[in-house]
Amino acid sequence: MRKYVLLRGFYSLVTLWLLVTIIFAMVRLTGDPVAMKGEIGADATYLERIKHDWGLDQPVYWQYTGFIGNLLKGDFGHSFEKSLPVRDIYFERLPNSLKLGFAAFVISLALGVPFGMLSALKVNTWWDNAGKMIALLGLSMPGFFVGLVLIIIFGVQLGWLPVLGKGSSAFVWSNPATWAPFWFRDWPHLAMPAFALGWYFSGAMLRITRSGMLDVLGSDYIKLVRLKGVPERMVVAKHALKNSLIPVLTFAGLNLLIMVNVAVVIEVIFNWPGVGQLLYDGLSNRDFPMVQGVVLMSGLMIVMLNFVIDVLYGYVDPRIRLSR
């Protein structure tokens, strides 16, 4: 077991290192950020100074080793465009993304799990088909389309919901008084983006719940429980649900990370000041440290989650830990 955990840990590190390297190389192919900071007709000395400030006058391998060294110290560098440390900006934005991500997560669970269970219990009935349809529609409508339709109906035509940003409440790390109220205010601002984002993921949720339920319902264990004469309602509520929720939750965890870190299109449409918008701004401004930082943070979270899942599965199922 120890060897297995160590091996998985090592693999995770290798994955992260590869990710760091890919993203480092990739952003450097997108163009020269110095030219973007300067004005048309800017004097050369000014551009030289920026280049020096950003460390772009050094050879690439030197930039790379410096970058890795700083990463190990937890320093993501300075944003080119926003002139502040990437870490500060990222953590300033993170609560906004978490708020949106959690809300979308709840919506995706609320839509996905009950419908998934229903359609598993009533295979090939009206319920099953309706559930599948909702799931498929969610998966098939691009986020920006859902967003635009919501905006026009609830924002413009009915005027019920605000269309701009996240509202006035902000999460300020240095001010603990803002920590709690932040999560409970400005829900009207949250409603549309969270729904647009959550619906998309509810489709996948529904599928997983449905197939997980079917797996469990078809298992010998449940057959045995039924044979013992446990009422069907209890079978579902106590035994089947409990067992089928494990894959649902692991998958949901991954979804949550994705929603928090890379809800680019939804955040752009709704002007939601989250991490996804930060990433998009960074990409369009060739803000290398920003892009690197955000992608790495999301990669780090995903790799860590995968590692935890791998280890847990290894505990539960010895076959896995021996096969790899």
Partner 1 sequence: MATILGRATEIGGVSRAARRSYSWVREIPLVPLLLVTVLVLAAVLAPVLAPHSHLDPVKPTPGQCQAKYGMADCPYVDNMPPFWFSQGTFATPLGTDYLGRDLLSRLMYGARISLVVALTGTLFAGAIGTLLGVLAGYMGKWWDQIIMRVTDAWLTLPSLVFAILLSSVRGPGVWNIVLILALVFWSRYSRAVRGEVLALREREFVRLAEINGVGKLKIIRRHLIPNVMNTVMVLFSLQVGVAVIIEASLSFLGVGVPPPEPSWGLMMAQERESLMQGKWWLAVFPGICITMLVLSANMLGDWLRVRLDPQLRNR
Partner 2 sequence: MTRRTGIKELLALIAALALVAAAGEAAAQKGGQTPILSGPLVKLDIKEAQIETAKGKPKGTFRIAQHFALDPGWLDPLEHIFALTMQTYDYLVHDALIKPMPQGEATYSLAEHAELAADFRRAAFRLRPGLKFHDGQPLSTADVKWTYENYKGAHAKLFRDKLEHIQIVDDRTIVFHFKEPFLEFMDLYNGAVSGIGWIVPKHYYEKVGRDGFKAKPIGAGPYKFVSQQAGVQMDFEAWEEYWRRTPAAKTIVVKGIRDNAARLAGLQTGELDLAFGMTGKVLPQVMADKNLRWVPNFTSVWHLAFPGYNEPDSPFHDKRVRQAVSLAINREFLVRQETQGVGKVWGNWISPENRDALKGDGKDLPLPEHNIAKAKQVLAQTKFPNGFEFEWFVPFVPYFDMGERILTDLRAVGIRGKLQSLEGPAFRAKMGQGRKGFPGNRTIVQNIDPRPGGAKATIGVYAVCGSPASIVCEPQIEELWTKHEASKNLDERDRLNKAIQKILVEEYYMVPIYWNPFVHAIGPRVLPEGKGIERYYDTLHAPYPWPWEVWEVRADR
CA 97 – CA 101 distance, rounded (Å): 6
Exposed/middle/buried for 143, CB within 10 Å: 0-12, 13-18, 19+? buried
DSSP string, 179-212: HHHHHHS-HHHHHHHHHHHHHHHHHHHHHHHHHH
CA 21 – CA 23 distance, rounded (Å): 5
CA 45 – CA 24 distance, rounded (Å): 27
* Closer residue to partner 1 in complex, CB, 171/268: 268
Q: How many other C-beta atoms can be found within 10 angstroms of the C-beta atom of residue 40?
A: 5
Tell the smallest beta-carbon distance from residue 262 to partner 1 (Å): 4
Residue 249 within binding range of partner 1, rule CB under 8 A: no
Binder among 58, 63, 273, 307 for partner 2 (CB under 8 A): 273
Residue 85 within binding range of partner 2, rule CB under 8 A: yes
Residue 9 within binding range of partner 1, rule CB under 8 A: no
Tell the smallest beta-carbon distance from residue 144 to partner 1 (Å): 5
Question: Are the C-beta atoms of 158 and 211 separated by less than 8 Å?
Answer: no
> From residue 18 to residue 57, what is the string marking binding to partner 1 with x (rule CB under 8 A)?
xx--xx--xx-xxx--------------------------
Residue 101 within binding range of partner 1, rule CB under 8 A: no
- Amino acid at position 221, single letter: Y
- Interface positions, 214-243, toward partner 1 (CB under 8 A): 214
Q: Which of 159, 165, 20, 142 is nearest to 93 (CA)?
A: 165
* Closer residue to partner 1 in complex, CB, 178/250: 250
Tell the smallest beta-carbon distance from residue 145 to partner 1 (Å): 4
Q: Which two tokens stand for residue 159?
A: 């005027």
- Interface positions, 86-125, toward partner 2 (CB under 8 A): 88-89, 92-93
Q: Contact region for partner 2 (CB under 8 A) — 60-68, 139-147, 179-187, 281-289?
A: 281-289
CA 135 – CA 20 distance, rounded (Å): 35
Give me the residues that bind partner 2 (CB under 8 A), please: 31-32, 35-46, 49, 78-79, 81-85, 88-89, 92-93, 151, 155-156, 159, 162-165, 170, 172, 268-269, 271, 273, 277-278, 281, 284-286
